[in-house]
Amino acid sequence: MAAVPTMRQLGCLRSLIKTPEVTQSQIGRRFISSAYSQRPERVPLPPNLPKQFLSQIPERMQPDNGPKPVKVYPPPPSTRAACKDPVASVTESQLSVLDPKGDRKALFDYRRNPRSVKPGDIVRVTFKNGDPFNGVVLSIKLRGIDTSFLLRNELTRVGVEMSVKVFNPNVQSVEIVQRAMRKPRRARLYYMRSRKHDRRSVENVVAAYIRQKKAFLGNAKR
């Protein structure tokens, strides 16, 4: 390209005439990856474009093609404000139905009421259909409306355990037949299932109690 200087002397000046832009563009042509060119600005559509021309523009350039706003829904009204502790209120309402006078609750509230049933006592439960069940109280579970107690007895040399809900409407009465001989050091007397500590049958104790009770009631009548 460059002419031989001997032929055209002024030709050497051409390199000085060259603008730096051109040089840059050459570099740009060689190293595409390093070339930086600013993103072309989006040409706005003419403001008063007739509507019928819109269909000729590609879809992505349509004036209303941008992302649609996401609809944000407000959170539902909190029920917490309406009822702070729903479990407690349900328990209370159930207790008012099943135990209006609070007798049953007091009978098994062994942490507060000193006269209540306690683990180790012998208890007789009578159900509405007439079945009695006697046994040693192994544990009392205080769980609000689900409060229950576990009785253990032995019927014909077979151990029987029965867990009864305190507020069960099928339970007619709970009688304390005998208090524990001395205060047990545990709240749950599961060790009484082992052969060494098993209380075995309590039927004779209960039978004696019933006899005594009958005699007492008979005297009272007279």
Partner 1 sequence: MIQLKSLLNCIDNSGASVVECVNVLKKKRAATIGDRIVVVVQKQRAAGSEGTGTTLANKVRRGDIRHAVIVRVKKELQRVDGTVVRFGDNACVLVNKSGDPIGTRMNGACFESLSSRGPMARGIGKSLATEIATSSNADTFPGVVGQELRGKQWSKILSLAPVHV
- Residue 129 within binding range of partner 1, rule CB under 8 A: yes
Supply the DSSP string of 32-63, one letter for each residue. TTT---PPPPPPPPPTT--GGGGGGS-GGGST
Q: Which of residues 3, 23, 25, 131 is near partner 1 by CB under 8 A? A: 131
- Residue 34 within binding range of partner 1, rule CB under 8 A: no
Torsion of CA 153, 175, 205, 133, to 10 degrees: -30
- The bridge status of strand 122-127 relative to strand 132-141 is antiparallel
Output the six-digit token pair for 215.
């005699």
Instruction: Give the per-residue contact string, 136-165, with partner 1 (x = CB under 8 A; - = no).
Output: ----------x-x-----xxxxxxxxxxxx
The CB-of-77 to partner 1 minimum distance in angstroms stands at: 35
Instruction: Give the per-residue contact string, 73-112, with partner 1 (x = CB under 8 A; - = no).
Output: ----------------------------------------
Cα 212 versus chain centre, distance: 52
Distance CA 149, CA 162 (A): 8
- Residue 170 within binding range of partner 1, rule CB under 8 A: yes
Q: Which residues bind partner 1 (CB under 8 A)?
A: 128-133, 146, 148, 154-165, 168-170
